[in-house]
Amino acid sequence: MKTHNREILLYYHPENRSDRQTLAMAKGMSKHVRSYAYGKTPSTETSWKGIIQSLDCHPKDLLDKSHPYYQHHIKGREFDDESWVKILRFNPDIIRVPIAMSGRKAILCKTPSDIHRLFEKR
């Protein structure tokens, strides 16, 4: 998945204060910010595969392992890659932190200030 180098895509939980702070910081960094609320914006398996590829991580790494849904339905079970993508797509509430993307770079924003890593030189 690729965006314009000056554009920021942010996937986040709008009800989470820290996530809203991340969005505010993103808007302070660029005039071109597109924000997508987990669960409120339609997502496809293709878009999730692109996000995972850009992050260079396993889908399980995106999940909040303390979330009740994770504890009851996922913990201790093995899934193939397609199933992990479906878990993300249909259970966005268990995604642990915002995901920010710009150009070909994607990062997990564990704190609001992590958004600044998006424009650091590689």
- CA dist 51 and 70 (Å) reads 21
- CA dist 112 and 28 (Å) reads 12
Q: What is the reported pTM?
A: 0.90
Classify 7-119 by CATH class. alpha beta
Place 114 in a pLDDT band, splitting at 50, 70 and 90.
very high
**Mean pLDDT, range 30-50, rounded to an integer:** 89
Place 122 in a pLDDT band, splitting at 50, 70 and 90.
low
In angstroms and rounded to an integer, the radius of gyration of the C-alpha atoms of the chain is: 14
**Mean pLDDT, range 18-29, rounded to an integer:** 96
H or E element, residue 101: strand 99-102
Higher per-residue pLDDT: 1 or 93 = 93
Average pLDDT of the chain is 92
